[in-house]
């Protein structure tokens, strides 16, 4: 590693560079680092970032890659904070995970705090024998401490690709599931599995008993945390109706974080990777209305020019936090790394890491 600087350079030094300079300097830093670095990019990342990624994918695929590439000492994670934490938990202890902008969080992940989940668990324990009857299932879009909670309480994590298999696993062990923080992924998956509506309740962390009677808690098989993705909640049933009317024969494909009324009207539902794979392998001339983040849809539009690809909304729905990772931040992280400076190192504390890994390993075994 060439060591020309004694302190890391600030990101401000990179913000006035032209796109061409940023591309060339990031590529040069990557070349200098060679196989010491692995760049992972989530499907929602901007083109200017994704073009440097060694791999792109959905949360599950990127978590698997982070776990599998033990020979790379540095993982530069172009995604959001919970994804980088997951990479740190699953990678080897001598590997270092870097998130180019620490402000790249996830508003859904912020909708469940450990104090609220602890309170919920205690409230449930006053009504039912919680440890014997409830499996906690946490969507990977969550802080590491919540994954640790699940590991410690016999629970498991899931992603949008494996939620059904995970819920099967969970119900095979205990009669109820506490699913957090996304109520929509939980409900949409349970709907597909045929769980009756009266077996589901919603837990609002700001209300006593989550807003439920003790009788409702006793009867429930699925307790859905009141949380959502602000990007996917923008898609409305009327958008599906509009595209079906305007483009007869159009296929509607959406992410399971969408509201159930949208999911129930769609032809296909799945993770970002499933959406990309499905549209990419469709016949030329087919038309697709896609209900997920805008960067992904715009890239799909360009890469699948023999198909008609539409964004399933009239308003722009970008993931503002994913968007925080841009060419200047990536170039800043990569050049500093090539100069021997690790910036924005993501470290999950050891006590959280051990339990969180148990929950993630259970998921990996299921998927």
Q: Which residues bind ligand 13P (CB under 6 A)?
A: 43, 58-59, 141, 159-160, 229, 255, 257, 271-272
When the beta carbons of 183 and 257 are compared against ligand 13P, the nearer one is: 257
- Spatial distance between the Cα atoms of 178 and 121, rounded to a whole number of angstroms: 9
188 binds, among ligand 13P, ligand SF4, none (CB under 5 to 8 A by kind): none
Torsion of CA 271, 275, 280, 283, to 10 degrees: 140
When the beta carbons of 106 and 263 are compared against ligand SF4, the nearer one is: 106
- Spatial distance between the Cα atoms of 15 and 58, rounded to a whole number of angstroms: 28
271 binds, among ligand SF4, ligand 13P, none (CB under 5 to 8 A by kind): ligand 13P
Least distance (Å) between residue 58 CB and ligand 13P: 3
Distance from the Cα of residue 153 to its chain's centroid: 22
When the beta carbons of 96 and 272 are compared against ligand 13P, the nearer one is: 272
Among 231, 269, 290, 309, binds ligand SF4 (CB under 6 A): 231
When the beta carbons of 257 and 326 are compared against ligand 13P, the nearer one is: 257
When the beta carbons of 130 and 166 are compared against ligand SF4, the nearer one is: 166
321 binds, among ligand SF4, ligand 13P, none (CB under 5 to 8 A by kind): ligand SF4
**Tokens encoding 118:** 């602890």
Burial of 319 (0-12, 13-18, 19+ CB in 10 A): buried
β-strands 156-158, 176-180: how paired?
unpaired
Among 293, 326, 339, 352, binds ligand SF4 (CB under 6 A): 293
Choose the binding region for ligand SF4 from 14-22, 215-223, 224-232, 299-307 (rule: CB under 6 A): 224-232
Task: Render 251-284 in DSSP notation, one character per residue.
Answer: EEEE-TTS-HHHHHH-SEE--HHHHHHHHHTSPT
List C-alpha distances in Å: 49 to 8, 40, 77, 113, 251. 21, 10, 11, 30, 29
Order of strands across the sheet that contains 308-311: 268-269, 251-254, 287-291, 308-311
List C-alpha distances in Å: 322 to 65, 132, 150. 19, 38, 26
Q: Under a CB-based contact definition with an 8 Å cutoff, are residues 196 and 217 in contact?
A: no
Q: Does 141 interact with ligand SF4 (rule: CB under 6 A)? A: yes
Task: Determine the 3-state secondary structure of 200 from DSSP.
Answer: strand
Percent helix, strand and coil across the chain, each rounded to 5? 50, 15, 35
Least distance (Å) between residue 7 CB and ligand 13P: 34
Site for ligand SF4, residues 73 to 112, rule: CB under 6 A: 80, 106-108
Least distance (Å) between residue 134 CB and ligand 13P: 25
When the beta carbons of 121 and 274 are compared against ligand 13P, the nearer one is: 274
Least distance (Å) between residue 152 CB and ligand SF4: 24
Least distance (Å) between residue 130 CB and ligand 13P: 28
When the beta carbons of 89 and 104 are compared against ligand SF4, the nearer one is: 104
- Which residues contact ligand SF4 (rule: CB under 6 A)? 80, 106-108, 141, 229-231, 257, 293, 319, 321-322
């Amino acid at each position: 590693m060439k060591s020309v600087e004694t302190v890391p350079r600030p990101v401000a030094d990179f913000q006035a560079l032209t796109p061409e300079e940023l591309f060339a300097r990031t590529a040069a830093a990557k070349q200098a680092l060679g196989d010491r670095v692995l760049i992972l990019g989530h499907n929602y990342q901007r083109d200017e970032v994704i073009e440097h990624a060694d791999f792109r994918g959905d949360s599950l695929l990127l978590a698997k890659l982070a776990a599998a590439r033990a020979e790379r000492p540095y993982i530069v994670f172009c995604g959001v904070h919970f994804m980088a934490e997951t990479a740190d938990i699953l990678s080897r202890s001598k590997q270092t995970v870097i998130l180019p902008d620490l402000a790249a969080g996830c508003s859904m992940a912020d909708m469940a705090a450990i104090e609220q989940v602890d309170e919920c668990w205690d409230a449930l324990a006053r009504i039912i024998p919680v440890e014997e009857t409830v499996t906690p299932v946490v969507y990977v879009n969550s802080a590491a401490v919540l994954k640790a909670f699940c590991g410690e309480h016999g629970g498991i994590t899931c992603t949008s690709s494996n939620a059904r298999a995970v819920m099967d696993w969970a119900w095979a062990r205990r009669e109820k599931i506490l699913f957090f923080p996304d109520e929509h992924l939980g409900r949409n998956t349970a709907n597909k599995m045929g769980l009756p509506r009266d077996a589901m309740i919603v837990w609002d962390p700001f209300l006593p008993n989550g807003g439920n009677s003790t009788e409702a808690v006793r009867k429930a098989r699925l307790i859905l945390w009141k949380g959502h993705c602000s990007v996917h909640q923008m898609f409305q049933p009327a958008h599906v109706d509009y595209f079906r009317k305007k483009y007869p024969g159009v296929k509607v494909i959406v992410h399971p974080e969408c509201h159930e009324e949208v999911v129930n009207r769609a032809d296909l539902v799945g993770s970002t990777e499933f959406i990309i794979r499905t549209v990419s392998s469709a016949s030329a001339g087919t038309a697709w209305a896609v209900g997920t983040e805008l960067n992904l849809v715009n890239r799909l539009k360009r890469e699948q020019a023999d198909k008609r690809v539409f964004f399933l909304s009239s308003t722009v729905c970008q993931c503002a936090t994913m968007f925080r990772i841009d060419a200047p931040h990536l170039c800043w992280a990569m050049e500093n790394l090539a100069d021997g400076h690790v910036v924005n190192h993501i470290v999950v504390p050891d006590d959280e890491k051990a339990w969180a890994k148990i929950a993630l390993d259970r998921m990996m075994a299921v998927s």
